[in-house]
Chain A
Amino acid sequence: KAGVTQTPRYLIKTRGQQVTLSCSPISGHRSVSWYQQTPGQGLQFLFEYFSETQRNKGNFPGRFSGRQFSNSRSEMNVSTLELGDSALYLCASSLASGKADTQYFGPGTRLTVL
């Protein structure tokens, strides 16, 4: 079974631009979560989607948004990019949103904002 895939793997943008990242979960998985990983802040939760509905949301400004499609694929969008948005963005999928459901991570998208 194919793992979680994320596209693109690397991205360079300038301040003020917007960006869309894509995540394809493992086949059959209905829950997708997004995380931001930086050396200073570690792994921070952005949001979780389950069956096209946002279930949980982290403490990020409204510039960060996401959505999930009927095939469980998910996108996240960051508008008006800031230098501090440079990070590794990780997507993770799981069968459902239960507390015992393991999350499987993709390789991440490395975003650099200049």
Chain B
Amino acid sequence: GNSVTQMEGPVTLSEEAFLTINCTYTATGYPSLFWYVQYPGEGLQLLLKATKADDKGSNKGFEATYRKETTSFHLEKGSVQVSDSAVYFCALRDYGQNFVFGPGTRLSVLP
């Protein structure tokens, strides 16, 4: 079946550092890929998505590119802020199937 693997962390960075959270997937078809973010005490919010190979999703300074050849969708941000501290989930969805989420990566940004 389909699956998502991501670094579980926790990841601790200083403010203005560069962020990369790795995400790789296994899928039988050609899924859409998503990054969601969960702040403490809240539900998940969509951060960005990409629906086909080579698409780049971007939002709030975060970017991720759908790489079919490496089955990856790594999340990057050039300069993190304390307010980016949260748990980040990589996910995929293929036609006719439910969402599959990775285990989540906890990010802590220190001032």
Q: Mark B68-111, 1 if CB is under 8 A from A, else 0.
A: 00000000000000000000010001111111111110000000
A53 proximal to B (CB < 8 A) = no
Q: Kindly report which residue of chain A lies nearest to residue B46, judged by CB atoms.
A: A102
Our pick among B36, B43, B96 for the contact of A108 (Cβ within 8 Å) is B43
B36 neighbours in A (Cβ, 8 Å): 105
A83 neighbours in B (Cβ, 8 Å): none
A103 neighbours in B (Cβ, 8 Å): 46, 99
With the chains together, A104 CA to B42 CA distance in Å? Answer: 12
Which range contains the number of A residues in contact with the other chain?
20 to 34
B51 neighbours in A (Cβ, 8 Å): 99-100
Known A42-B103, A102-B46, A105-B43: A33·B32 in contact at CB below 8 Å: no
B48 to chain A, nearest CB (A): 10
Residues of chain B from 4 to 44 with CB closer than 8 A to chain A in the complex? 31-32, 34, 36, 42-44
Q: Tell which of A35, A43, A92, A108 has the most Cβ of chain B within 10 Å.
A: A43
Q: Is the CB–CB distance between B46 and A45 below 8 Å?
A: no
Q: Is the CB–CB distance between A45 and B99 below 8 Å?
A: yes
A35 neighbours in B (Cβ, 8 Å): 101
A interface residues (Cβ-Cβ under 8 A, vs B): 4, 33, 35, 42-43, 45, 48, 55-56, 58, 90, 92, 97-108
Apart from A33-B99, A108-B43: 4 A-B pairs, beta carbons within 8 A: A4-B43, A56-B97, A92-B43, A102-B46
